[in-house]
Chain A
Amino acid sequence: MSDTIHIQPGSVAHEAAHDEHHHGHHEQSFITKYVFSQDHKTIGKQFLVTGIIWAVVGGLFSVLFRLQLGFPGQSFPILETFFGHWAKGGQIQPEFYYALITMHGTVLVFFVLTAGLSGTFANLLIPLQVGARDMASPFLNMLSYWFFFMASIVMISSLFISTGPAAGGWTVYPPLSALHDASEGSKLGMDLWIVAMALFVVSSLLGGLNYISTILNMRTKGMSMTRLPLTIWALFFTAVLGVLSFPVLLSGLILLLFDRNLGTSFYLSDIVVNGQTLPNEGGSAILFQHLFWFLGHPEVYIILLPAMGMVSEILSVNSRKPIFGYMAMLGSLFAICILAFLVWAHHMFVTGLNPFLGSVFVLLTLLIAVPSAIKVFNWLTTLWRGNIRLLPSTLFAIGFVSLFISGGLTGIFLGNSTIDIHLHDTMFVVAHFHIVMGVASMFGMFAGVYHWFPKMFGRYLNTTLGYIHFWVTLVGAYLIFWPMHYEGLAGMPRRYLDKSVWRSFSQFGDLDKMITVVSIIVFAVQLLFIFNFFYSIFKGRKVTSTNPWGANTLEWTTPVNPGHGNWVGEIPEVHRWAYDYGKDGREFIPQTEPIGANESKH
């Protein structure tokens, strides 16, 4: 509780400077404590809960369109009850189908795996693990959440307008997204999509700048950059990627907004739509793709890096072994971060891109496999000769590594332009990015939730439900996405809602049914997890020790339920890196413990 903080002025210079930001003796009302809170932990929980709600929405959308894909032509009267003319006769209409896949992608990529994942864990972990009482600017941090909230409201509202939400795919390529006449989803829904994303970018920038400045400036005494846990490094690079690339998306979207409403021709040229000849000449539809993917590619690392960081931490803690090759892990994060900016055009090999330019992007893209390989081998070596506690968090971390390998390897297919000619925009791509970016990052997020839930709420999640959640989700993820690669190898394009008119792609009917059934089961199990989550907040078993996992990092030196300001009394000083597990016969040595006289060096 905030009123229990005792501030000792002048104890540590930067700590004192920070303490001016909040008032330790101020009695907080419900509103300032839970709604407009400036406490990073509460903001983290707000991001998490909002992210969970979005995940249910986005996941439900995928179940709906999977029904169409698995059982094309079959009528589900309940759909008409809920969605009216969008599901006339109980069948999902094409406009509805495209709206569903568009919103599924947008919601999961941005609202769940960007805001929900890095918003939650950057907020929760950065101050706790670097040893700060709060973010550099708690106020901007609060604004970051509320901009995200506004973005959510605008995006949700687009679901309820008569022409429906955006329906041009989550990549919203113009001219489809720019021409009101080209599709129902390109009417008002598209404008709302752009506005929501603009608000989202603001939120992401406010958050990102805060994360960067907190990590750089507010580390406690002794916490040098190379003593930071890998979670913090991962979140740092994530924030850097976001800050440098989201503005480019925003600029691209603003030009799109102009093209849509003000008659400019940034992306439009030589168009006759619905029998109407448009005056626009000289624009380039490909320009948008460059701007979009300049964010879009770093975005997949914005999603993936926090998961990588948390998995590194959790694998190390639960193998009771240091993370293998800390500096190599750091170096590979850095390399991925740099390369993330230099590979965007691999999404555009078949747009008519100059083949020489294409070959450069092939080289840079496949280079990413090197740091990725380093990470995988280092995780494997971390497990090797450990003493592994297979908690739900560990299992999800292991699942992450497995999925990252599977999905990463198929990236070597797609990054190679020669193969990409055949596989581009097929179900192979869908299988690839869902495994490596979607499900893998979700696994990282679940691992993080199971691991840090005790810190967030002072209670444990039910472990049995955790194990059920893990096993069904892992098996389900592979059953859904592994065979999907074969559809792509057959050349089946993505975003087809009914393959019956095609001779080359209609041979996978049974497979599509199986995938649909499995995805419904997996979705149901996620609801079980969510139930476990909310139930355990109030009724879970209470945490009795401050350090239930025997971990070295600073968040476990705070009280079980830390108040605003995190530490009672002085912020602890750090004397070592975060990974002294199993050293000199001791199970773990917290970062706060001074180096002993006879301690061996590593």
Chain B
Amino acid sequence: MQTFFIVAILLLGFLITFQIAKASEYVAVLRGEEKAKKQTNRVNAFMLLCFLILGLIGVYYCNERLKGKILGEAASNHGVLIDRMLYITIGVTFFVFVITQVALFWFAYKYQQSDTRKAYYYPHNNKLEVIWTVIPAIALTVLVGFGIFYWFKITGTAPKGAMEVEVTGSQFKWEFRYPGNDKTFGKKYYKNITGDNPLGQVWDDPYGHDDIYVTGEPMHLVVNKPVRLIIGSKDVIHDVGLAEFRMKMDAVPGTPTTMWFTPTKTTADKIKETGKADFVYEISCDQMCGRGHTGMRGEIIVETQEEFDAWITKKSPKYIDALKAAAAQKADSTKPVTTVSVSGVK
């Protein structure tokens, strides 16, 4: 019933608007078309001016309302650079935005049709055109210069001694792997992936024996210690989006990608800074990956080295779990064990 009323009201609104519009045409004819045209011209010119003024006020109001809702200070070294580049660009573009919009609507208002004015025949002026080719070109050179300078800093090789974490996306969860004491990841091969071996590690590779597998809980990182993420996917393309760190990188099946950054604020720091007791660094999937895309959420805890060490030492490598599972299976039956001894090295 409610729907019916809404539709009825909409239709009525339509009809009324249309009748008024039609009537206004007849009225215009009756009152003399030229006169009516001049009047609508004046009205619309005035409205363009109003739109400019209200629009600029709106831009200011919108910023006041929303600036507190965008993220606070970046929580990584690269994030600081990205924010700086962002503010430089906002400065330059806002200046251009105001000048051009004011000119556009002001001209449209000022030079509205009038009997006393004659349009000025002004087909070209090479000097002017050169000026407004060169000035944007210079402004852009500056922006490109800054941009590329920061870009190479951010995408350059990670510093020596950076910790490494492997991130694997799949519909619709994140899995992490730490290289363990040897600081080297063991090999993996996707055909080895089973329930007991979720990343498809190759057990023959001794480097993999101390690799720590983490899922269903936050990734742990150490504050002020560079971290290099090695990112992959098991099924479709995902994306590791770290809004607080301002970092982002796709997870592509078959093609590992990497990114590095240095977290500069612990989770505890951020809780203090934002005043939110439940603050947590989030990993968002930024590349459409299917029905559960919206909920593909991970968390990161940034902590001190001691806290991190305390956490990681409690973890046992996946290899040990696999051995235990194999032993248990052996005890259960006399069948030869095949699950652990897959050697899928190509």
B112-152 vs A, Cβ < 8 Å mask (1 yes, 0 no): 11100111111111001100110011001001101110111
Docked CA distance A176–B252 (Å): 11
Docked CA distance A294–B82 (Å): 27
Residues facing A in B99-123 (CB within 8 A) are 100-101, 103-105, 107-108, 111-114, 117-123
Q: List chain B residues, Cβ under 8 A from A379.
A: 104
Q: List chain A residues, Cβ under 8 A from B255.
A: 269, 284-286, 352
Q: Which residue of chain B is the closest to A389 with respect to CB atoms?
A: B113
A53-96 vs B, Cβ < 8 Å mask (1 yes, 0 no): 00000000000000000000000001000000000000000110
Q: List chain A residues, Cβ under 8 A from B246.
A: 421-422, 491
Q: B66 touching A283 by the CB < 8 A rule?
A: no
B226 at the binding interface (Cβ < 8 Å): no
Docked CA distance A531–B105 (Å): 29
Knowing A350-B250, A387-B111, A426-B286 are in contact, say whether A326-B235 is a contact too (CB < 8 A): no
A30 at the binding interface (Cβ < 8 Å): no
Residues facing A in B186-235 (CB within 8 A) are 190-191, 193, 200, 234-235
Q: B10 touching A285 by the CB < 8 A rule?
A: no
Q: How large is the interface on A (under 10, 10 to 19, 20 to 34, 35 or more residues)?
A: 35 or more
B339 at the binding interface (Cβ < 8 Å): no
Interface residue from B22, B105, B237, B247 paired with A285 (Cβ < 8 Å): B237
Q: Which residue of chain A is the closest to B195 with respect to CB atoms?
A: A275
Q: List chain A residues, Cβ under 8 A from B304.
A: none
Q: B136 touching A369 by the CB < 8 A rule?
A: yes
In the complex, identify which listed stretch (B44-52, B175-183, B325-333) lies at the interface while the others stay far away. Answer: B44-52
B31 at the binding interface (Cβ < 8 Å): no
B263 to chain A, nearest CB (A): 15
Docked CA distance A482–B287 (Å): 23
Docked CA distance A482–B284 (Å): 23
B166 at the binding interface (Cβ < 8 Å): no
Residues facing B in A446-493 (CB within 8 A) are 462-465, 467-468, 471, 474-475, 478, 482-483, 486, 489-493
Interface residue from B25, B51, B171, B286 paired with A182 (Cβ < 8 Å): B171
Q: A421 touching B17 by the CB < 8 A rule?
A: no
Most A Cβ at <10 Å: residue of B40, B143, B154: B143
Q: List chain A residues, Cβ under 8 A from B129.
A: 325, 328, 374, 377-378
Interface residue from A98, A282, A363, A582 paired with B291 (Cβ < 8 Å): A98
Q: List chain A residues, Cβ under 8 A from B291.
A: 94-95, 98, 183-184
Q: Which residue of chain B is the closest to A172 with respect to CB atoms?
A: B288
Q: List chain B residues, Cβ under 8 A from A499.
A: 294
Knowing A350-B249, A390-B112 are in contact, say whether A418-B47 is a contact too (CB < 8 A): no
Query: Besides A386-B111, A528-B17, A535-B18, 15 other CB < 8 A contacts?
Result: A273-B171, A285-B237, A286-B252, A351-B252, A358-B151, A367-B140, A373-B132, A418-B85, A418-B146, A418-B148, A462-B25, A465-B17, A489-B86, A503-B280, A583-B121
Residues of B within 8 A of A (CB): 3, 10, 14, 17-18, 20-22, 24-25, 40-41, 44-45, 47-48, 51, 55, 58-59, 62, 66-67, 69-71, 78-79, 81-82, 85-86, 89, 92-93, 96-97, 100-101, 103-105, 107-108, 111-114, 117-125, 128-129, 132-133, 136-137, 140, 143-144, 146-148, 150-152, 154-156, 170-171, 190-191, 193, 200, 234-237, 239, 241, 243-244, 246-250, 252-258, 276, 278-280, 282, 284-295, 297
14 A–B contact pairs at CB < 8 A? A268-B254, A271-B190, A320-B113, A324-B123, A325-B129, A359-B152, A362-B148, A412-B93, A412-B140, A467-B40, A482-B58, A489-B70, A524-B14, A602-B123
